Structure 1
């Protein structure tokens, strides 16, 4: 299946930046619909037909619709294009190890750590002011980050070896998010994040995501 007709919906969040970054790393041609969260655009009939949960990002490719950033990135990598510098699992063990990183980052760092802070901090008018939850999310994130610090020390130079992977994009995105929340990062992880942030695909996606 070619990437003709590929659409990516969403802009303005860490999660939409991830999908745009992956698409640029892969050199894909796509149509971008830069709608933001909580703007009313996600409740328009055209968008609700794609994602009734009215959240971004969304990928549409032919008859397929995906609505989670990790799933979108893995689909694009495994189905649409895999240039030599991008990791794509060649066997079940490598795929399982990559998915393990993706699930860990999405559940422990993103959802249970950073998004807990976001929900009850910047979005407290919607979800409620809960300083204890914010503090707990921060402490939990820092605890789980210790595992990533150890992993990156042994990376060469990425989580899956010499090639960038969706897991790297997920993790670098979380580090960006942590820096915006003034969470102190180990020097090792700052170096890793900075290596990712100078990539042309990262920069192109950031410009598109922030426009």
Structure 2
């Protein structure tokens, strides 16, 4: 009995919200690397990220947070790099330096050039001050601008996935961003044929599909894909 409790305490813990694209990146990585983890839901709409207990893990009050024993990491990019160094199975970065740089660039483009503009606090503020129509226009503008840049960036590297026929870091950022763009913000993907093609590949990959919002334990029944 004691050994079972000990093994359970060693399991990775992921504080996540079903619809968080940042959390989804980490869920994909955990799946790719075959790592067992405990999913701990944090309901952002109910403000659970502002609880004193959660703020001890991440003072900013954002998900995801990964707990690995005594180690606590509260940023999706930092979590992915930590997992990459500690768990080398299924590398998230290619050996080729050029393609490695493109992966980092694409990942950063999504995280700092698209996703940050659709965070709940941001869009909530714009919706309150300017109305829901202006909020949607704001989000769509930044998504479309970012997707157009990604089409150009990846044009000379993409295969089945972002930088060839193997899954790497860029794909972990692209898959949830595209999924959210289509389902939440009504983005028309015909303008982005390269990203559309990659999205079809993501839908066929179990590590991606199992990590998608509708397949999470805290997803509302109306959103569940099961």
Q: Which TM-score band applies after superposition, normalised by the shorter structure?
A: 0.7 to 0.9
Give the superposition deviation at 1:200.
0.7
What number of residue pairs does the alignment pair up? Answer: 202
Give the superposition deviation at 1:94.
5.2
Runs ≥4 in structure 1, deviation > 4 angstroms? Answer: 91-95, 124-127, 130-134
Would the alpha carbon gap of residues 32 and 158 (structure 1) be closer, same or farther in structure 2, given more than 3 Å must change?
same
Write the deviation string for residues 35-85 of structure 1: whole angstroms up to 9, x where unpaired. Answer: 2213243233332221122221111113322222222223212322322xx
Would the alpha carbon gap of residues 45 and 111 (structure 1) be closer, same or farther in structure 2, given more than 3 Å must change?
closer
Would the alpha carbon gap of residues 95 and 148 (structure 1) be closer, same or farther in structure 2, given more than 3 Å must change?
closer
Which of 189, 199, 216 is 1:208 aligned to? 216
2:146 is matched with which residue? 144
Give the superposition deviation at 1:170.
0.6
Distance 1:56 1:115 in 2: 11
Establish whether residue 99 from structure 1 lines up as the match of residue 83 from structure 2.
Answer: no
Partner SS state of residue 54, structure 1: coil
Distance 1:101 1:188 in 2: 14
Give the superposition deviation at 1:136.
4.0
Would the alpha carbon gap of residues 42 and 126 (structure 1) be closer, same or farther in structure 2, given more than 3 Å must change?
farther
Establish whether residue 22 from structure 1 lines up as the match of residue 33 from structure 2.
Answer: no
Alignment RMSD = 2.7
Structure 2: tracts of 5 or more residues without a match: 1-9, 220-226
Establish whether residue 163 from structure 1 lines up as the match of residue 170 from structure 2.
Answer: no
Establish whether residue 63 from structure 1 lines up as the match of residue 64 from structure 2.
Answer: no
Distance 1:99 1:48 in 2: 29
TM-score (norm 1): 0.80
Establish whether residue 194 from structure 1 lines up as the match of residue 200 from structure 2.
Answer: yes
